[in-house]
Chain A
Amino acid sequence: MEILTLQNICFSYGKVPVLKDVNYRFETGKMYCIIGRSGAGKTTLLSLLSGLAKPDGGSILYDGKDVAKLDKYAFRSKYIGVIFQSFNLLTKFTAVENVMLSMDIAGVKGKNKRQRAMELLAGVGLDEDEANRRVLKLSGGQQQRVAIARALSYDPQIILADEPTGNLDGETQKEIMDIFRSLAQQGKCVILVSHSPEVAAACDEKYELQKLSGKKEPKEKAAS
């Protein structure tokens, strides 16, 4: 089932074009990889997909509805789970509190939120002790798992991950990719943004972004 569609997406930083006429389709139950060289606009595209930025032209359709017409906060908190490259976790909170807060923001109802959060953390391989630890006291891989659990906390259809294996060792990379694979098998649409050929090879489909001519590297980098 097609869940996310990009129609003629254009984006530029000032007069410097970054994305032009991008047309991608994403379905549930599949793993996608958006690859490209540095400066090709991968992170910019991820920002557009996650609702943090608006395209200059074209439209993004979520389940057939124009994202621009949806409440951007509701879109971010309920419909799409984003795993940022630097995880963007609340460092003063514990792993389980991060997940629970995400549920609260999404408006998830129910009394056993803590138990659900613990289950999600267990699902990504964190035990109870790790779940109750402050995020800053967790390793990069563990933080990545917390970020994944947080993205899954409100059960979105789309999981978006920016360089999910960038800072991880080989073994952990494999474990993380296995989690994404299982999520796709559970019917989620998993979109990974990466420059790694290994990650691209592990996905069902890949979209390659080409660096547009005249694009200035520093500006795109600053924004991403």
Chain B
Amino acid sequence: MYLFKNALKCIGRAKGRNILIGIIALVIAVSACIGLSIRQAAESAKAETLEGMSVTAKISFDRQSAMQGMRPSADGASGGTQSGAFDREQFRTLMNGGTSLTLDEYQTYAAAESVQDFYYTLTAYFDGSDELEPVSSESETESESSAGAPGGGMSPGRTKGDRMGNMATGDFTVIGYSGDNAMTAFQTGSTTIADGVVFSEGTTERQCLISEELAAYNELAVGDTVTLANPDSETETYTLTVAGIYKNTEANDLSVSMFGVGQDPANQIYLSAAALQGILDASASASETTTDAATGQETETAVGSSLSATYVFADADAYHRFEEEVRTLGLDDSYTVSSADLTAFENSLTPLNTLSTMAGWFLLVILLIGAVILIVLNIFNIRERKYEIGVLTAMGMKKGKVALQFLAEILVVTMAAILIGAGIGAVSAVPVTNALLANQVESQQSSQLQLENNFGRGGNFKGGLQTAPDNLPTGGRGGFAALGQNVSNYVTEVNSAMNLTVLLQLLGIGLLLTLAAGAVSVLFVMRYDPLKILANRD
């Protein structure tokens, strides 16, 4: 006990020296606190976002991997070719024959334990009719031309056996939702019903939702009927009843219409997947098959469709488990499981993670420099107090106790500085972190923008085509409208940075620095001989 009292007395009677040590420890503490807080903020932001985030995933065909398999190896042997060159024919067959999974297959994987929810959308393209014209800024002639030669001038029909690929395009994108959960745009509120109601979940009745623009353009109201035609067979028509009129609360990017009027969000017609499937089945029954005399290739007129299935998971862990479970359930290696949510989430954390990494290095440098300064100061301190050590040991105080007293002194000074530093750090960590983060986000965005500009995409497409979900329309982002969205929604602000973990880490750092500096005291005290010290003084 007297050691501690003595240590406090010594601190009080060497104020100048201890204030100097304290200031250095304070600078280290504030810097370390901010560094640790940034790292903590990054961790917390990640954990908090992941906690509240339900992850969705899709299974898609890995075309690149398939192409890789068909590429000949150096010695000419490959899994997919005999001739030593890339087997284009086999690739075409593969791509046309069924790279997309069937609904049954998707549902098999939906049975995986990790899956919380499952939904899908069917997408098909239809042409309009005289009483239903697509919303378009193009002239009537061009529109007719487009309708007359869908698929960018391709010949009508699609290759026989082509389940999804080479799908003809039309004036309207018709999306069939498996259920209310699949209508994510309505779930998130980006799309709402302006008039009427949404068709019943899973109904086979041909009730549809049309956009406000389309309704206004064709003077349609709830209860009216609209007729859609098979783009490949104009005589094959289907009549739908308008159950409701929806509006997009998010601004539509009109530039997407340059990909065709059917891609315009205003020309999207929603109905239940069961109803759309009914139409597709009817179209398949009425399909006519023709054979090209020159190539011998068979084409059919049935309306093509694409299927997009989405799996919902409670958290990221469940998503990762799903990746393993689907392999057990028999998913081929040529298919990949990917989550646009997780990717977007990881992208959103890029600036914060970069800042966190920088903070880590900064922390390391501060600690190293701090430790060196504290050790050097302590060496001077001990040498200056050599006489005191001599007197105390000559009085019979054990060297260990002298060292302990010196250790207690530096511990009290550094811990006091660290507590003050933690206080300053707690107040300043959030604004400093946010300021640094804003800087980082700005630099990230400007470099991204610069990159887009370099590629000539600096205009409306901030995120660029390459960042848009690959399997469109998803339904999750309001179909094609997702193209115009910038996926880089970075985390730009942290609310709290300092917490008990940071405080404990800070105290740990303080203790570590003190022990490093104190170890020097112990070494010096232990090697001092009181007789020599006092004799030299005499």
Contacts and interface: CB of A to CB of B under 8 A. Distances in A.
Report whether chain A binds chain B: yes
Interface of A: 43, 47, 50, 52-53, 73-78, 82, 84-86, 88-90, 92-93, 97, 101-102, 104-106, 150, 222-224
A224 B534 CA distance: 9
B396 A90 contact: no
Interface string B382-403: 0000001011111111100000
A223 B533 CA distance: 10
B293 interface: no
Top 3 nearest A-B pairs (CB, nearest first) are A77-B396, A76-B396, A104-B2
A76 B535 CA distance: 17
B396 A97 contact: no
Given A90-B392, A102-B395, 15 more contacts: A43-B535, A47-B531, A52-B534, A53-B531, A73-B396, A76-B396, A77-B396, A86-B537, A92-B9, A93-B13, A101-B2, A101-B395, A104-B2, A105-B2, A223-B531
Nearest to B5: A104
B535 A224 contact: yes
B538 interface: yes
A89 B396 contact: no
B384 to A, nearest CB: 12
A92 B10 contact: yes
Contacts of B13: 92-93
Given A97-B9, A101-B2, A106 B396 contact: yes
- Looking at chain B's contact residues, the main secondary structure is helix
Contacts of B397: 73, 77, 105
B6 interface: yes
Contacts of B530: 52
B2 A90 contact: no
Interface of B: 2, 6, 9-10, 13-14, 388, 390-398, 530-531, 534-535, 537-538
A105 B538 contact: no
Contacts, number: 62
Nearest to A80: B396
A77 B398 CA distance: 10
A122 B58 CA distance: 92
Contacts of A90: 388, 391-392
B538 A86 contact: yes
Given A92-B14, A97-B9, A222 B535 contact: yes
Contacts of A73: 393, 396-398
Contacts of A93: 9, 13
B535 A105 contact: no
Nearest to A50: B394
A114 B429 CA distance: 48
Contacts of B535: 43, 222-224
